[in-house]
Amino acid sequence: MYAHTNILAALLQRNLDGKGRRIDISMLEALGEWMSYPIYYAYQGAAPPPRSGASARHHLPLRALPGG
């Protein structure tokens, strides 16, 4: 995801000024950001949140839509 957005940003900048860009992506930093919510609950032995599926507060949509 981070590589994708950086490549798109570099292409947009190239269209503006014609210059290339260097893209530096850290897999460790990306993993750290994606794991911030689970790590918060694991910090110092805190209990994990209950399973909530599509209604989890850190995911969208917040509520599942009824099927038809």
**How many domains would you assign to the chain?**
1
Cα 41 from chain centre = 18
Asked whether residue 23 is assigned to any structural domain, the reply reads yes
Query: pLDDT by residue for the chain (68 residues), tens digit each?
Result: 788 888 999 999 999 999 999 988 888 877 777 776 667 767 777 777 667 665 556 555 555 666 65
3-state secondary structure of 38: helix
Give CA–CA dist 12/6, Å, rounded.
10
CA distances 13 to 4, 6, 19, 65, Å, are 14, 11, 7, 39
Q: Check residue 5 and report its DSSP letter.
A: H
Domain region containing 23: 2-46
Instruction: Please enumerate in sequence order all residues whose Cβ is within 8 A of that of 3, keeping only pairs 6 or more positions apart, or say none.
Output: 23, 25
Q: What is the pLDDT of residue 21?
A: 92
For the entire predicted model, the pTM comes to 0.47
Residue 8, in any domain of the structure: yes
